[in-house]
Amino acid sequence: MKISQFLLFPAALITLTLVTGFVVSDDSDSDKKWVPLFNGEDLSGWTPKIRYEKYGEDSRNTFRVKDGLLRVGYENYDEFNETFGHLFYETPYSDYRIRLEYRFIGEQLKGGPSWAYRNSGIMVHGQDPETMALDQDFPVSIEVQLLGGDGTGERTTGNLCTPGTHVFIGEELFKPHCTKSNSKTYHGEQWVTAEVEVRGHEVIRHIINGETVLEYQKPILDGAHAGASKLIEKAEGKIELSGGTISLQSESHPVEFRKVEIFDLSK
C-alpha cells in the first residue's frame, strides 16, 4: 500500500504506534504446533484474486511455485497497470500467529507505482475474496506491509496499512492509512522473517526477525470506505474485526516467500 501518507502526520503522533522489545512467545516448547500453510510444491489451499480478473483467475501466472518457493513474478506482464493481486488462503482465522520468510528480487515491473518498489504485504482480518468487486484493488483488511531497502536510505518494514479499516493505539482511534514500524532496514535480496500475532479484536503485533516492531488494538471497519461500508451493512452494523482471511500481495515488484506457517492460538 501507499506509504507517502507517512509524511502527513507529525513525528510525535507516529511514535505513539511504535513499540520495542522482543517477541513474547517462546517457540522452544511449541514447534509442533506450527502448521505449514505452503507445502513447497504447489499452491494447494491458496487462490488468487487479481484486479480486473475473477476470483480464482491468474491469466499471467503471477503467483507460482518454483524451486520450493512461492514466487510473485511478472514475466508475463507488459506493464503493471494497477493490476494489484492477492493470494488468499482457504481458511479464515481469528486468534493465531502467522510466520513466513520473504525477500525481494529483481527489478520492479514497468508501470508499477513508485511507492510499490520492493513492496508487498501480509493481509490479515481480510474480507472474503468472493465478495470483492472485479476492479477492487485491495481487500478490506489489515495490512502488515513488507518493504525492502533501496541500498542507501532507511526504510522500515513490518509497517501498518489499513485499506477500509482503522485501529486503536491505546484508547485513541488512529486513522492514518499507513504507519511506520521501528524496524531495521533490510537491503538487497536477504531473507527476512516476518511474524504477526493476531488476537482477534484485542491486539495485533508485528514481529520482524524476532523483534516486536509495532503493536495496536481493536481493529474496526471504516464506514467511509465503500467496500467496508458494504461489509458493515451485511454485518448489520457491526464494525469490530475479530477474524478474517489471510492473503499475500502482488504489487509490481517480484518477491519470494518460504516457510509460510501458522500457529492456531484458539486450540
> At the top level of CATH, which class does the domain 4-264 belong to?
mainly beta
pLDDT given for residue 29 in this prediction = 46
The predicted-structure confidence for 29-77, as pLDDT tens digits, reads as follows 467 799 999 999 999 999 999 999 999 999 999 999 999 999 999 999 9
Q: Which pLDDT band holds residue 167 (cuts at 50, 70, 90)?
A: very high
| pLDDT tens column, 109-144 | 999 999 999 999 999 999 999 999 999 999 999 999
Q: What is the CA radius of gyration of the chain?
A: 17
Domain boundaries in the chain? Answer: 4-264
pLDDT at residue 170, as a whole number: 84
pTM score over 0.85? yes
Element spanning 249, H or E: strand 245-250
- In the numeric block, which cell numbers belong to residue 158? 513490518
List Cα–Cα distances, 130 to 58, 97, 142, 151, 231, in angstroms: 15, 24, 18, 39, 12
In this prediction, residues 142-158 reach a mean pLDDT of 97
Q: Report, as an integer, the average pLDDT of 165-184.
A: 95
| CA 140, chain centre distance (Å) | 11
Q: What sign does the dihedral 150-155-159-160 (CA atoms) show?
A: negative
